[in-house]
Amino acid sequence: MSTAAAIPQSRPLSDSEVEGPVLKKPRLDKEILVEEKAATPDALETVLKEDSEVVVPLEDAQPRHGKVAKHKKKKRKEPPLPEPCSAADVLYQEIRALLGEDVVDEVTKSGGAFQPPFEYGEELVVKIENIGSGGSGIALAPQEKGPWAVVVPFALSGETARVRIVKSDRMHSIATPLEILTKNAELRNDSRVQCKYFGSCGGCQYQMLSGETQLNLKRDVIIRAFKIYSKLPESSVPEIGSTVESPLVYAYRTKITPHFERPPKWAKKNEVKPGEQPPWLKIGFNMTSSNSTMDIEECPISTPILNERYKSDRKDIIQNIFSYKKGVSLMYRDSLDPSFDAEKMMSPPIDKLSEAFTRHVCITDQKGSAREMVGDYLFEYNAGGFFQNNNSVLPLLVDYVRDLISTMEYPATSGHPTHLVDTYCGAGLFAISLASAFNKVAGIELSQSSIKSAKRNAKLNSIPDEKISFLSGEAQNIFAAVKDFPADKTVVVIDPPRKGCDDLFLKQLLQFRPSTVVYISCNVHTQARDVGVIVRETEKDDEGRRYKLESLRGFDLFPQTAHVESAALLRLY
C-alpha cells in the first residue's frame, strides 16, 4: 500500500520561479475546481454557497445607498492604490475608463471609493459593458446606486445576468453570476466547455468561447495595455498582429501545482472511513474570486500524463491525510523520459521518432530533471524551475522571433546583427534556439540552477563554448560582461518575470543601446510600461538615435484563459 511519504511534498514556488500568468500569488498554475457541472446557474449557485463561507467582504465596506457626495461616515484611511501594472491596477484602470476618470476621482475625493452601494450577498441584474483584461465581464451598477462597477466572471459583453455580490473593493464589487438572462449568442456556446469545473475554477475564463474569439480578446488586451501603460502616442504603436494560435488548446499545460491543507484540528481520524474523502479535504486549485481551495480531480488543459499521476496521488493523499501535519503544494511536470541518455539522443543520426523523443513521464520532484524538445533543440531543466508551460506553441514563438530578426532590413552601415544577448534566459531557450543566426551569444539569469541547465543545454545542442556563454546574476550585470559586443550589431532579448524589468536594467540597456530589442512577456502590462520607457527615454535625447516599436504580437500560450504572451520588437534609428 502506498503511504503519504510517497506523495511529493513541495515548498511554494519562489518569486524567481514564477512563470506565465499569475495574478495574486506567484503560483501561476492554481486552476480551481468545484464538483458541479460547467457554468450552469445551478452549479454557480452551489459554488456561491461554498464561496460565501470564505469570501469576506472588505472590512471597511459599508453599504453606500444613494449618491456620491453624501458621506457622513467618519472617513477611514483608504488602502493605497494598487501596485501599478498589477492585476488589481489593470482592473482599476478599466473601471476608471468605464465610469469616467473625473467621476471616479470625485467619488474618491469624497471618501466613497470603498463604500459599495450593495450589501454582501445582494442579488441584482446587470448588463455587461465589456470584458476586462482579466477575462471577467464588467458592468455598471444600476443608475440609482451611483457610479460603481460590478465585475462578473464568466459573463460576456452585451449579456444581462442575475448576479450576487460576493466581495467589494475600490469602486467595484465582484459578483457571482447566478443566471445569464440574455446571452451573447454570437460569442457564447456553452457546449464548447470541456471541464466540469469551469465556471467555478479560477484557472480558465474562456472555455465557452471559440478559439477565434479568444485570440481576438487577447489582441484587445495588448491594444489596451499599450494605450494605458506605454504612455506612447497612438502613432508610436504599430498595428498589432493577430494572436498566434496554440496548436493544442486543451491538454497543453506541462506543469501544475495543486495543493491541499492538513486536516483541521477538530477532525477525528476515527470518524473518517478509510479511503473515503472527508468533506473538509479539498485537493486542487483556487476557486474563482476567492483564495479557497476547490476539490478538483482533473484539469483538461493539462497534459494527460499529469492528470493520470495526479489522480492516482489523490487516492494516496485521501488514504493518508491524517499523516500530514502541514499543507502541501504538489508539483507535476510533464517531461520526456529522463532515463534516456541525453548526449546519445542528440548525437547524429537523431531519431526523433524513437522512444527517447516520444515517451513522456510525470516528474514530481522539484529538484528532479525534466526535459523537452523545442523544435530541433533539447532542453533540460530543474522540474521545479522555470520553463514555459505550453510546449506545443513554443516552436512558433521561437521561429517568429528568429524570422523577425533575420528578415528585417538593416542599415548598410551596421549590416545584419551578429551578436545576441538573452537576458532573463532561464535554461537558455532563446539563446540556444537562436544561436545559429549569430556569431556570439551571451545569456544571463538569476537562478543558478537554470544557468547550470543553460550551459548543459548549449553542450547538448552542440553549440561551441567559444560561441556561447552564460552568466548567473541580476540581468543588468550582463552589460558589463558584453562590453566587446558591438551594440549596433547586437540583438537583446528580454523575457523577464511578470513584474517586468527594473529601472537599473532599463538604464543599462539604454546605455548599451543595442540595434534591436525583442521583448517577450507573459505580462503585457509591464511590457507596455517598459517598452514605453525605452522609446520615450531615447526621444528625450535630441541628438541621439531613437527606438521605434516596430512590431507587436500576441501568442496564445494559455488557451482557455485570459492570459496572453506578447512579443515586441524595437529597432534603433
Ligand X SMILES: C[S@@+](CC[C@H](N)C(=O)[O-])C[C@H]1O[C@@H](n2cnc3c(N)ncnc32)[C@H](O)[C@@H]1O
User: What is residue 68's DSSP assignment?
Assistant: T
Cα–Cα distance measured from residue 489 to residue 116, given in angstroms and rounded to the nearest whole number: 56
Asked whether 445 and 426 are in contact (CB, 8 A), the reply is yes
Distance CA(280)–CA(327), nearest Å, equals: 13
Which residue in the set 229, 332, 386, 438 belongs to the binding site for ligand X (CB under 6 A)? 386
Site for ligand X in 178-217 (CB under 6 A): none
- Selected range binding ligand X among 143-151, 171-179, 383-391, 558-566, rule: CB under 6 A: 383-391
Question: Minimum CB separation from ligand X for residue 519, in Å?
Answer: 11
Whether residue 425 lies in the annotated active site: no
Q: What's the grid cell of residue 281?
A: 479535504
- If binding means CB under 6 A, how many residues of this protein chain bind ligand X? 21
566 in contact with ligand X (CB under 6 A):
no
Q: Which residue is nearest to ligand X (CB)?
A: 426
The grid cell for 312 is: 492516482
Task: Write the single-letter amino acid at 210.
Answer: S
Q: Which of 204, 299, 425, 522 is catalytic?
A: 522
User: Residue 197 or 558: which CB sits closer to ligand X?
Assistant: 558
Using the rule CB under 6 A, which residue among 4, 9, 16, 62 binds ligand X? 16
CA-nearest of 79, 158, 163 to 118 is 163
Q: Are 45 and 197 in contact (CB under 8 A)?
A: no
Q: What is the nearest approach in angstroms of ligand X to the Cβ of residue 381?
A: 8
Please report how close the Cβ of residue 388 comes to ligand X at its closest, in angstroms: 5
Contact predicate 276/249, CB 8 Å: no
- DSSP letters, 287-319, are BTTS--EEE-S--TTB-HHHHHHHHHHHHHHHH
Q: Which is nearer to ligand X, 138 or 454 (CB)?
A: 454
Q: Is 159 one of the annotated binding-site residues?
A: no
Cβ proximity to ligand X, 28 vs 131, nearer residue: 28
Go through 487-519 and write b for each residue having 16 or more CB atoms within 10 A of its CB, e for each that does not: bbbbbbbbbbbbebbeeebbebbbebbbbbbbb
Q: Is 388 near ligand X (CB under 6 A)?
A: yes
Q: How far is the CB of 14 from ligand X (least distance, A)?
A: 9
Binding of residue 384 to ligand X (CB under 6 A): no
Out of 260, 285, 377, 387, point to the residue binding ligand X (CB under 6 A): 387
DSSP state at residue 23: S
116-154 CB burial, b ≥16 within 10 A, e <16: bbbebeeebebbbbebbbbbbbbbbbeeebbbbbbbbbb
The answer on whether 445 is annotated among ligand-binding residues is yes
Q: Give the Cα separation of 202 and 222 in Å (integer).
A: 22
In angstroms, the CA 231 to CA 529 distance is 8
Rounded to whole angstroms, the Cα distance separating 236 from 521 reads 19
| In the complex, least distance from residue 348 CB atom to ligand X, rounded to whole angstroms | 26
Instruction: Name the minimum Å distance from CB 334 to ligand X.
Output: 15
The residues in 264-303 that bind ligand X, with binding defined as CB under 6 A, are none
Nearer to ligand X (CB atom), residue 161 or residue 374: 374
Q: Which is nearer to ligand X, 308 or 502 (CB)?
A: 502
Q: Is 388 annotated as a binding residue?
A: yes
Q: Which is nearer to ligand X, 8 or 426 (CB)?
A: 426
Residues numbered 486-525 forming contacts with ligand X, rule: CB under 6 A: 495-497
Give the closest residue to 494 by CA, choosing from 450, 430, 547, 554: 430
- 135/497 with CB nearer ligand X: 497
Q: Is there a contact between 424 and 386 (Cβ–Cβ < 8 Å)?
A: no
In the complex, minimum distance from the CB of residue 422 to ligand X, in angstroms, rounded to a whole number: 7
Which 537-556 positions form the footprint of ligand X (CB under 6 A)? none
Q: Which of residues 407-466 bind ligand X (CB under 6 A)?
A: 424-427, 429-430, 444-447, 450
Q: What are the cell numbers at 186?
A: 454570437
Taking the complex as a whole, how short is the minimal distance between the CB of residue 478 and ligand X, in angstroms? 9
Q: Which is nearer to ligand X, 290 or 561 (CB)?
A: 561
Neighbouring C-beta atoms of residue 326, cutoff 10 Å: 7
**Binds ligand X by CB under 6 A, chosen from 113, 225, 475, 531:** 475
- Per the annotation, where are the binding residues for S-adenosyl-L-methionine? 388, 424, 445, 495
- The catalytic residues are 522
- Per the annotation, where are the binding residues? 388, 424, 445, 495
Q: Which residues bind ligand X (CB under 6 A)?
A: 16, 19, 386-388, 424-427, 429-430, 444-447, 450, 474-475, 495-497
